[in-house]
Amino acid sequence: MLKPLLLPAITPPRWVWVIDVVRLADIPEPERTVIADLACPVYADTSPVTPVAAALRHVAIVSTAGLIVRGERPMLANEAGYRAIAATVDDGDILCSHVSTNFDRTGFQQDLDVVLPRDRLRELEEEGSIGKAADTHYAFMGATSPVKLEDKARELGRSMLALGVNTVVLAPV
Amino acid sequence: MSGLAHYLEDEGLATVIVALVREHIVKMRPPRALWVPFELGRPFGTPGDGGLQRRVLQASLALLDKTLTAPHLEEFNEEAPIHDDSNWHFPGSLDNSGVLAEAASVMPIWRLARERIGRSTVGISGLPPQSAVEFIARFHDSEPMPNPQGMAPVSRARFAVDDIKAFYLEAAMAEGGQPSARQLHEWFWSGTLAGELLREFQQRARVSADKNLQLIAGSLVPAERTDWFLHGLKSPEQ
């Protein structure tokens, strides 16, 4: 069982000042350092899985934008679960329930692929750069302690393997 | 996100991260990461720029072709320029006689935006946009708007705030152009009654006796747009 070497309390600062959705490098001090120095668990290096050849890759995207399908209960702060977003779900039915006010949503509002590049992945499948774009993609709630996500992440990993997925693109916001 | 990479790799999946905060990758050492120099919230670059999005995705997947013996962090060497569109202006006129009237004046423009963009991200509260505005405007009234079943009032309020922001910001993009995120937020928070409403609501939530309302206060308004920040008031921590 993989465990973090250290388990510091992951307590996000209550007041992180980010000047309207800019790159981290553009954020003035001391706020930039507050974000950059956010307490993170420290993991032993994980032996990387040997990837399959590109043509055999069955790729899913996992976002931490707290994405949900319209009509579902929105995800809440520090929620450890994940949501499945089937390929058949229309772009217009994918909503963002992330708790943070500190990242830009106008990109997502204009173009889902800025956050969840389903169309781009399908293009790679069509041209043969990958074997298959997964039929389902997934979302967690960002800003949740990584340690708290472990059980659900492992559950999702096993579920994806059972569906034939062998490669995951992780996309935080 | 790096934690997820460790767990998923441990379960047997090959992973790559498209990362916006390099410092967190350096600390958490996931097996493979591509750092992108984009705005927070835009891991695949610029809306409408499928070419850039595709190059980011390809560059991330290319990390899987490398033979690794240690965690590998690579930089994506292409920028997504951030600049204001000097020609951009809100594509309509706002009725500033009151926040509900203002929201009503936004509605036809938002409908045009929805048609142009082909979708909308409004709806997470379960309330129509104008009802979301009314829900917040009347939240502290002696006769607040009835809360539909299925969501606690405080949660409904939090997501109604998200819907109000999405409603206005989507409307602002009804005629396209390339306004920067900064421009759009400046307009919303400084140029609309809805922005003022949300700041007032956040202030009341922050000092509310209702602990749940206090808890959501930090999720309503970007800190630099709060009254205490703009007017040099003491932060809640001081």
Q: What is residue A11's predicted lDDT score, i.e. its pLDDT? A: 35
Report, as an integer, the average pLDDT of A73-80.
93
Between positions 36 and 55 of B, the ones with CB within 8 A of A are 37-48, 50, 53-54
Determine what percent of chain B is predicted with pLDDT higher than 70.
Answer: 95
Q: Do A21 and B15 touch (CB under 8 A)?
A: no
Grade residue A6 by pLDDT with cuts at 50, 70 and 90.
very low
Of the candidates A149, A154, A63, A64, which has an alpha carbon nearest to the alpha carbon of residue B7?
Answer: A154
Predicted local distance difference test score (pLDDT) of residue A10: 35
Residue A14, chain B, CB below 8 Å: the answer is yes
Question: Beta A42-43 vs A58-63: how paired, if at all?
Answer: unpaired
**Taking CB atoms and an 8 Å limit, are A112 and B119 in contact across chains?**
yes
Please report which confidence band the pLDDT of residue B34 belongs to, taking 50, 70 and 90 as the band edges.
very high
Q: What is the mean pLDDT of residues A62-83?
A: 95
Q: Which residues of B touch A19 (CB under 8 A)?
A: 224
Q: Could A104 and B41 be called an inter-chain contact, meaning their C-beta atoms sit closer than 8 Å?
A: yes
Cβ <8 Å between B222 and A120: no
Chain B residues in contact with A22 (beta carbon < 8 A): 39-40, 82, 182
Query: Which ranges of A79-172 does DSSP label H, i.e. alpha helix?
Result: 106-110, 118-126, 150-162
Residue A89 contacts B, CB cutoff 8 Å: no
Q: Across the interface, do A102 and B40 touch by the CB < 8 Å criterion?
A: yes
pLDDT digits (tens, 9 = 90+) for A101-148: 888 999 999 999 999 999 999 999 999 999 999 999 999 999 888 889
- Report pLDDT digits (tens) over B116-147: 999 999 999 999 999 999 999 999 999 999 99
pLDDT in the model for residue B128: 97
Give the pLDDT band (50/70/90) at residue B218. confident
| Candidate from B17, B24, B121 with C-beta closest to A109 | B121
State residue A28's pLDDT score.
54
Q: Has residue B203 got a pLDDT over 80?
A: yes
Q: What is the DSSP string of B96-134?
A: TT-HHHHHHHHHHHHHHHHHHHS-----TTSS-HHHHHH
- Map out the domains of chain B as residue ranges: 2-75, 99-230
User: H helices within A77-117, ranges in order?
Assistant: 106-110
Closest CA to B10 of A44, A149, A127, A2: A2
Cβ–Cβ of A168/B8 closer than 8 Å? yes
Output the six-digit token pair for A111. 């173009």
B159·A142 Cβ contact <8 A: no
pLDDT bracket for residue A31 (50, 70, 90): low
**pLDDT in the model for residue B144:** 94
